[in-house]
Chain A
C-alpha cells in the first residue's frame, strides 16, 4: 500500500533522512521507532507533503505521491495525525471533526461523526466546547478523530502517546489497536518502544536518518542486544 524507496529529505543545508526504504501493507500496523532527532518527524512531514523529498520515491496505492501538496495526499487517503495534535483551539470539537472531512469523506460526514462520537464518548460530551479547553489526552483523541473523519486508507500516527500520563498511554495504544482491527493500515511513529512493538506487526528502527533495523516486531522485541544497541533498553 505504501512503498518508500531511497527517500532523502531535509531542511536547508541539513539532510535529515539519508535514504529510507519502508513499506506498509494493507491493514498492517507498522511501527517506526527511534529516539528524538533521528528523523521520525521529518519522515512524516515528507510522507504527508509538508516538505518536498529531495530524492527517492513515495508510492501510495500504486501512485507516486512524493512532492505532491498535502491536500492532494489527503485526497489519496493518506492522513497524518501530527505530533503535538495541531487541533484548531479556537473552534468547537465538532467543527474540528467536521474539518477532518473537508477534503475527503464528505458524503459520509454525519455517519463518521457518529462513529467517532461512539469511539470517543468524551468528545461527544464536549462537542460544543472550544477544542483548546480540552485536556491533553482529549486533544489527542480529537486529533485522531479528525484524522479518521477523512476516511483514511493509511493513518500515520506521529507520537500519539507523547505527553500523556502512563494510564492514558495504555488507553491510547488500546485505541490504536481497536482502530486498526477494522482493517485500517497504521504507520505508528513512536518513542514508546515496548508498547509499539507489542502492537505492531513489523517495525523499523531509525537512527541518524537511516533505517538500521527492520523486521517482525516480535523478533525485535525478543532481541535484547538489538534493543540495547538502538533503543536504549
Chain B
C-alpha cells in the first residue's frame, strides 16, 4: 500500500491538471448548451491559442501570463467573428450543418498551423518553469498552482456572467427558446457569436496557462478536447458546474490511475468513467433531461 502522502500529492496534482481540463470543458459545454453542437474546432482553437502564446513569448518576448489577457481578447473576437461570419451563414440555421462546418474549420486551422510551424514539438522557456512550493510532503509546481487559481476564478466569473448579467441571461434564454428570445428583442445571431467567442476565450486562457509547462504541436489541443468531451458528458452536456466539478474529478482520476497503473495508463480511468456514465446516467451528473 502506498503512503497517504503520495496519494495526497497525486490528488493535488490531479486537481491542478483538472483545472486546465475545466477551462477546455467550460468552452465546450457552453457552446454545446447554446448551439446544441459539439464544436469540433475546439481542439484546433486550443492549439492555435497555444501557438499564439508561443509566438508572443518567442517573437515578442511577452510572458504567457502577461499575454493571457490580450490573447484571450483576441480569441474572443476571432471566435465571435468565425461564428457570425462563417459558421452562422454557412449553416443556414441547421444544427447538423454547424457540426460539419466546425469539423471543416478544425481541418483548416490544423493544416494552417502545420504549414506555418511544421510538426515540430515546441516549448518556451520561462525562468519560473521549475519553481515549486514545498508543502513538506510534496512539491507543487508554481505554474500549475497559478493555472489552478486562474482556472477557478475564470469558472466563477463565467458562472457570474451567465447568472447575473443581461448577456448571460440572453445566452441561457437562447439556449432553450430561440423564438421567444427573438421576440424579447434578443439578437440571436449576436448571442450565438458571443457564446462562441466565450468558448474560444476559455481555451485561450487554458493555452496561456499551459504553455509555461507544456509543449505545442499542430495537434496538441486534441488530447485535451478528448478528455474535455468526457468531462462534459460526465458533468451533463451544457452544465457549467458539471464541467468544473467533472474536470477536477477527472483530473484526480487520471492522476490516481497513473499512480496505481503506471503513467501511460493514467487515462484508462477516464474512459472507463466515460463508458460507465453512458451506461448508467447518460444525462450526466448535472444534466437536464432532454
Chain A positions near chain B (C-beta within 8 angstroms): 48-50, 69-71, 74-75, 79-82, 85-91, 95, 98-100, 102-104, 146, 150
User: Can you sample 9 A-B contacts with CB below 8 Å?
Assistant: A50-B182, A81-B183, A82-B180, A88-B177, A89-B176, A99-B184, A102-B184, A102-B186, A103-B184
Nearest chain B CB to A17's CB is how many angstroms away? 19
Contacts of A70 in B (CB 8 A): 182-183, 185
A100 touches B173 (CB 8 A): no
B173 touches A91 (CB 8 A): yes
Q: Kindly state whether residue B36 has any CB partner on chain A within 8 Å.
A: no
Q: Please, how many angstroms separate the alpha-carbon atoms of A100 and B180 in the complex? A: 10
Q: Which of B173, B182, B185, B187 contacts A88 (CB 8 A)?
A: B173
Q: Which of A69, A88, A103 contacts B176 (CB 8 A)?
A: A88
Specify the main secondary structure of chain B where it touches its partner: helix
B172 touches A102 (CB 8 A): no
Q: Kindly state whether residue B194 has any CB partner on chain A within 8 Å.
A: no
B181 touches A88 (CB 8 A): yes
Q: If A91-B169, A91-B172, A99-B169 touch, does A86 touch B288 (CB 8 Å cutoff)?
A: no
Contacts of A146 in B (CB 8 A): 184
Residue among B176, B185, B288 having the largest count of chain A Cβ atoms under 10 Å? B185
Contacts of B58 in A (CB 8 A): none
11 extra A-B contacts, CB within 8 A, seeds A99-B170, A104-B185:
A50-B183, A70-B183, A87-B177, A88-B173, A90-B172, A91-B169, A98-B169, A99-B186, A102-B166, A103-B185, A103-B186
Q: If A69-B187, A71-B187, A90-B288 touch, does A99 touch B182 (CB 8 Å cutoff)?
A: no
Q: Kindly state whether residue B138 has any CB partner on chain A within 8 Å.
A: no
Q: Kindly state whether residue B179 has any CB partner on chain A within 8 Å.
A: yes
Q: Please, how many angstroms separate the alpha-carbon atoms of A80 and B184 in the complex? A: 8
A100 touches B177 (CB 8 A): no
Q: If A88-B177, A90-B288 touch, does A102 touch B169 (CB 8 Å cutoff)?
A: yes
Q: Please, how many angstroms separate the alpha-carbon atoms of A82 and B288 in the complex? A: 25
B185 touches A71 (CB 8 A): yes
Q: Kindly state whether residue B237 has any CB partner on chain A within 8 Å.
A: no
Identify the closest chain B residue to A146 (Cβ). B184
B180 touches A86 (CB 8 A): yes
A95 touches B169 (CB 8 A): yes
Contacts of A86 in B (CB 8 A): 177, 179-180, 183
Q: Kindly state whether residue B198 has any CB partner on chain A within 8 Å.
A: no
Q: Please, how many angstroms separate the alpha-carbon atoms of A102 and B187 in the complex? A: 10
Q: Please, how many angstroms separate the alpha-carbon atoms of A179 and B182 in the complex? A: 23
B183 touches A48 (CB 8 A): yes
